[in-house]
Structures are given as structure tokens and as C-alpha cells.
């Protein structure tokens, strides 16, 4: 039974813990470090896992340590984990956005196996999409273990070139916000035409949910699905032509580029502050 420690008990850690327990992982094999007493007690009550105020206590004897804290906190927690890192050489899994493998190696030890992950917020309901990349010290069984842990919150994909993790951040990490912005705009447009807001929101949300399920579960190209619902000279074609005239594809490309560049800049800022 692999001993698993979470450093940080926030929403993403909660989603992973809940998902792992549903897959049959024993609560007794999981420990959590959470500095806020109220959150710590809530974790213990809800999941039956051991909760500690101190990182070193949660990480003691852990074979896997999931770093579920904000990027700017990463450099400060090394000292608390040093004993466990030296004694047990655990697999480190970081879910902190934008933190590179070389930064993690510098803070926690270049000889450790480390996996960098970029999950997204739908992981909170078990529908996440996570990109993972590993340093050269991660063995195939450790890669499988890291994937099993992140699979508890949705789908996973390994990224061989770490430089592309900023693209993953722009695509799936930030992507839910793009979706919410589109639903906001669809809802507002329908309300402006006279539809009651509750109906507009429900119809927009479930339309997007249904379309997403068709794409994810059917395995067909999105262009094929788009063409299938676009009748010649029909209402859908009129809307798509309006999107094209306003440069939807260019807008999305620029937005993705901006998010990718920002991810790299945030990582560089951590270097500057170290």
C-alpha cells in the first residue's frame, strides 16, 4: 500500500483525495498537511485521512508527495520536507501551475524523481484534463503511479517536451474560463433577445455539455461534428459565418498565445525571486 502525502489541502487536493478513495485507495494510506485548522478538521471528517498542521509530519515515510500549494510557496517548504526527502527519496508530484522541473529540482533535490502536472478546475467534479511531464529519474512504475493518482480526477496525457506545458496551461488549465466566457456571452445575447435568464443559462450550459460529451465520447473530429449540424443556408451557417467574419480563429489563437507567454513569464518570475 503506497503511502501518499499531500502538502496542501485545498480544492485540487480534495478532488484528488476523493477520487482516489473512490478507486479503492485506503484512507489510512493518505496524509495531508493543511495549516488552516478549520480546513484540516473538515478534511479529516470528510475523508477519514490523517491531517497535520506541519508538512514534515504529513510527509514522514511517504513514498509519494503531492505538492498542492501555490507556486510562490514552493521554495519555502523545502526545509520542512528535507528529512523525508533524504530518507525515503519519494516521488514528487507537483500540481503548481507554471513551476518547471528544473525549479523543482533546484528546490527539492536534483536526484529525486519528479512529475510536473497541470490539472484544471473540472477535476473538482472528476472531469478534469491533466498534462504531465517527468524528469529522467522517474521510473516506468512511478509514471504509472503518478498517472493513476491524476486519473482519479479525469483524463491524463503525458507531454514529452516540457516546453509545451505552457501550451497545456493555456489550453486545458485556462480553458474552462474560455468556456465560461462563451456561455456568458451566449446567455447575455439570448436575454437581450427576450429569453428569461434562467432558461437562457440552462439551455446554454446544457447545449455546451451535450456538445462536449459528443466530442469526448464519440471520438470524431470537431470539424465533422460541426459540419453535421450546419445545414446549407441555415441558422447555424449564418452564425458560423458571423464568427468567421469577426475572426474567431484569430481571436482564439491570440488568446492562447497570451496565456502561454504569461505562463512562461510567471515561471521566470519565480527564478528572479529565488
Q: Retrieve residue 142's grid coordinates.
A: 512511478
For 61-93, write each residue's pLDDT tens digit.
899 999 999 888 888 898 889 888 888 899 999
pLDDT attached to residue 274: 60
Cβ neighbours of residue 54 under 8 Å, at least 6 residues apart?
33, 80
Q: What is the pLDDT of residues 122-168, one digit of tens each?
A: 998 999 999 999 999 999 999 999 999 999 999 999 999 999 999 99
Distance of alpha carbon 40 from alpha carbon 44, whole angstroms? 6
Question: What is the per-residue pLDDT across 12-60, written as a single tens digit (0 to 9) for each?
Answer: 999 999 999 999 999 999 999 999 999 999 999 999 999 999 999 999 9
Domains of the chain, first to last: 4-167 (3.40.50.720), 173-263 (1.10.3730.10)
Instruction: Give the confidence band of 192 by pLDDT, cuts at 50, 70, 90.
Output: very high
Task: Tell me the Ramachandran region of residue 161: left when phi exceeds 0, alpha when psi lies from -120 to 50, beta otherwise.
Answer: beta
pLDDT at residue 273 greater than cutoff 80: no
pLDDT in tens, 195-214: 999 999 999 999 999 999 99
Rounded to 5 degrees, φ, ψ at 8 are: 110, 130
Amino acid at each position: 500500500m503506497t503511502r501518499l502525502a499531500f502538502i496542501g489541502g485545498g480544492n485540487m487536493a480534495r478532488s484528488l483525495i476523493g477520487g482516489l478513495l473512490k478507486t479503492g485507495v485506503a484512507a489510512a494510506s493518505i496524509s495531508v498537511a493543511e495549516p488552516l485548522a478549520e480546513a484540516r478538521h473538515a478534511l479529516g471528517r470528510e475523508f477519514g485521512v490523517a491531517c497535520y498542521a506541519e508538512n514534515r509530519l504529513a510527509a514522514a515515510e511517504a513514498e509519494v508527495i503531492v505538492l498542492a500549494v501555490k507556486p510562490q510557496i514552493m521554495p519555502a517548504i523545502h526545509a520542512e520536507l528535507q528529512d523525508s526527502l533524504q530518507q525515503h527519496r519519494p516521488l514528487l508530484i507537483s500540481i503548481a501551475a507554471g513551476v518547471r522541473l528544473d525549479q523543482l529540482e533546484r528546490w527539492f533535490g536534483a536526484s529525486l524523481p519528479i512529475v510536473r502536472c497541470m490539472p484544471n478546475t473540472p477535476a473538482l467534479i472528476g472531469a478534469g484534463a491533466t498534462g504531465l511531464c517527468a524528469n529522467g529519474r522517474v521510473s516506468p512504475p512511478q509514471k504509472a503511479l503518478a498517472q493513476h493518482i491524476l486519473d482519479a480526477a479525469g483524463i491524463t496525457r503525458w507531454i514529452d517536451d516540457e516546453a509545451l506545458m505552457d501550451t497545456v496551461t493555456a489550453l486545458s488549465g485556462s480553458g474552462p474560463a474560455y468556456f465560461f466566457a462563451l456561455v456568458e456571452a451566449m446567455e447575455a445575447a439570448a436575454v437581450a433577445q427576450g429569453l428569461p435568464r434562467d432558461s437562457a443559462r440552462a439551455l446554454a450550459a446544457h447545449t455546451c455539455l451535450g456538445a462536449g460529451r459528443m466530442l469526448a465520447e464519440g471520438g470524431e473530429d470537431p470539424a465533422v461534428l460541426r459540419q453535421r449540424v450546419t445545414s446549407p443556408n441555415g441558422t447555424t451557417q449564418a452564425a458560423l459565418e458571423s464568427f468567421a467574419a469577426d475572426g474567431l480563429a484569430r481571436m482564439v489563437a491570440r488568446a492562447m498565445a497570451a496565456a502561454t507567454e504569461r505562463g512562461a513569464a510567471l515561471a521566470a518570475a519565480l527564478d528572479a525571486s529565488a
